[in-house]
């Protein structure tokens, strides 16, 4: 993630945010945090970002990815999971859980869901399945994405201004990158393995 963001700059940030909001297992938290840190002079070896630009570009990417997921959910949510779920690591259990969240919290769940890790990546699908009005969905998604992008970018920015953080980061960036890759790989493997398991509530046929 660090190499991708530092190499492709704003374009890399935009792509990550689009994909993460389109239900792919990509952590936008890390992308915004890194981009925020790159807004400081402490990371002069990397492309210098601007906080306002990071927030705006990231929010646009988040909204665009959410629209893609919403439209997929509205027109072919279940069918896509049936056909491609194993490739994008999505199951009907995921859709069921996000639908329960949507039904429990109603329309505000789109706004609240944009601020909850994991849920935020899936909440657009049940909104589409429920055929929520597009205008309302767009407004709530934009507000939630803007809050998310601003919060994480600011956290990354202030962390980047901390001398102790910068010193530690420069000295441990490769071990940290390796750890992130291992954690993501473990998460993907566990997700893939769990999707192969039959549902616990399933009863054997007689």
pLDDT tens track, the chain, 206 positions: 667 777 778 898 999 999 988 877 677 888 888 888 888 866 555 557 889 999 999 999 999 999 998 998 888 766 766 766 665 556 667 667 666 767 777 678 788 888 887 777 778 877 887 778 899 999 999 999 999 999 999 988 888 776 555 555 555 455 555 555 565 566 556 555 555 555 444 444 44
Question: 125: Cβ–Cβ under 8 A, 6 or more apart, which residues?
Answer: 23, 69, 70, 72, 73, 77, 95, 98
pLDDT value, residue 8: 79
Three-class secondary structure of residue 23 per DSSP: coil
| Residue 161 three-state SS | coil
Tell me how crowded residue 122 is: count the other CB atoms within 10 A of its CB: 23
């Amino acid at each position: 993630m660090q190499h991708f963001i530092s190499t492709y700059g704003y374009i890399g940030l935009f792509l990550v945010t689009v994909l993460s909001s389109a239900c792919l297992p990509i952590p936008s938290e890390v992308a915004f945090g890194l981009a925020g840190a790159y807004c400081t002079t402490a990371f002069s070896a990397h492309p210098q970002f601007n906080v306002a630009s990071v927030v705006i570009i990231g929010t646009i990417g988040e909204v665009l990815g959410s629209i893609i997921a919403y439209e997929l959910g509205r027109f072919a949510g279940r069918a896509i999971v049936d056909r491609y779920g194993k490739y994008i690591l999505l199951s009907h259990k995921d859709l069921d859980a996000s639908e329960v969240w949507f039904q429990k919290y109603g329309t505000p769940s789109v706004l609240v869901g944009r601020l909850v890790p994991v849920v935020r990546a899936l909440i657009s699908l049940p909104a589409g399945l429920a055929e929520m009005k597009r205008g309302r969905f767009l407004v709530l998604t934009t507000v939630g994405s803007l809050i998310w992008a601003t919060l994480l970018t600011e956290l990354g920015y202030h962390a980047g201004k901390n001398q102790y953080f910068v010193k530690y980061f420069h000295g441990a960036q490769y071990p940290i990158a390796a750890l992130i890759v291992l954690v993501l790989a473990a998460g993907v493997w566990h997700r893939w393995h769990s999707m192969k398991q039959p549902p616990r509530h399933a009863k054997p046929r007689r």
